[in-house]
Structure 1
């Protein structure tokens, strides 16, 4: 049976229950051998992150600790001195796992809408599959979706079984799954002194308190 690894990247500033739910959902659907969670180092499309790379990686470890699937926190992007690009990360992971492994990049619909701004975005399919979680009613031909991305995604649509057992190049849209949690909103709540315990795991909240993060 093909080795299947799900990849979940993000700034994780802070990591929240939406990230964990997304990873857990596709890990179960694909019966993955490993969930590889990849905190971004210097995400070139975002403003500066608040927590340090080490703090974000530790919060990810705490947040994903309870999953039954094997979870690996991959710090390769943090360890790079330069801005991080997904294409470089996928190249490195493909070299690590070999040509036959199924690598599956997980993302939300909002990220998919910006895919054409990523470096060498059309080459990404040469290294991984793409599984996207979207709200009910989301459509590839809907507003805000770049035509080139919609076309590339639509012509590659495959089943979860096919994705599980082939190396790369297919796409899947889960229209029954979406979690509306924004790290920006969480940071704002924490700065106001509001509790965010419905949005963040208790272990991560404790860590944030201990390290006095996201205070105004």
Structure 2
């Protein structure tokens, strides 16, 4: 047994919302893992964030206060250029060693697009990949993804603690129909996104200022 995994959940978190937090918490409990929420500097597959890196980190730190199983990891913000996952995993592997179980958390749609990611096959060598699934939703896999992923399928989260990388597991998560774009639209319209974002973000009017309409 190698021990408790370290899992990463990447994204722009522009802003972080309750859907992000629920998924991260369920993954932490199911995998018995520490989950690191990792804001991207320059996301390769998404538009640039509206909030600055400092503002997004501040929102995450407020949202995660008092939850030791969920932590903020700013390594991608400290790295110049696009935030490629393979580079992030190499950095984590160098920091925590070859024996530490690492887990990349991805949604089902992102998992299906893995062959478009930089050095995507290396991801399986560097970490386990856990697909976060929602009831009633399936995503098609390409032949090359099937060939890489199916032989690696794990039957239970326990298998991810026994080896440092290379397994693929699906875990169901509670579908909270919340999106960052929805939160930004509400704020731009002068409305409050209560129950969609953590209360800590609503407690200080300045925190969500990047998304409010100016003037």
Same fold (TM over 0.5): yes
Q: How many positions carry a matched residue from both structures?
A: 210
Mark the CA change 1:93 to 1:14 in structure 2 (over 3 Å): closer, same or farther: same
Tell me the equivalent position of 2:48.
Answer: 48
Secondary structure of the corresponding residue to residue 211 of structure 2: coil
Q: Say if 1:67 and 1:130 are closer, same or farther in 2 by CA, change over 3 A.
A: same
* Alignment match, 2:25: 24
Partner of 2:125: 126
Please give the TM-score of this superposition, normalised by the length of structure 2.
0.90
Runs of 4+ in 1 over 3 A off after TM superposition: 175-179
Residue in 2 aligned with 1:184?
181
Contact 2:106 2:130 (8 Å CA) reproduced: yes
Distance 2:169 2:176 in 1: 17
Give me the TM-score of the superposition, normalised by structure 1.
0.89
Deviations 1:104-146 (A, max 9, x none): 111212222322221111110111111111111334xx44x43
Deviation digits for residues 26-49 of structure 1 (CA, Å, limit 9, x no counterpart)? 1111112x3222110111221111
3-state SS of 2:158 partner:
helix
How large is the RMSD of aligned CA atoms in angstroms?
1.8
- Counterparts of residues 1-216 of structure 1 (less than 5 Å): 1-32=2-33, 34-69=34-69, 71-139=70-138, 142-143=139-140, 145-158=141-154, 159-175=156-172, 177-207=174-204, 209-211=205-207, 212-216=209-213
Any unmatched runs of 5+ in structure 1?
none
From the superposition, tell whether residues 184 and 87 of structure 1 become closer, same or farther in structure 2 (CA, over 3 Å): same
Structure-2 change in CA distance of 1:66 and 1:150 (3 Å)? farther
Rate the CA distance shift 1:137–1:123 in 2: closer, same or farther, 3 A: same
Q: Deviations over 1:138-183 (max 9, x none)?
A: 34xx44x433334433221102000122101111112354333211
C-alpha distance in 2 between matches for 1:76 and 1:119: 18
Whether the 8 Å contact between 2:103 and 2:130 is mirrored in structure 1 is yes
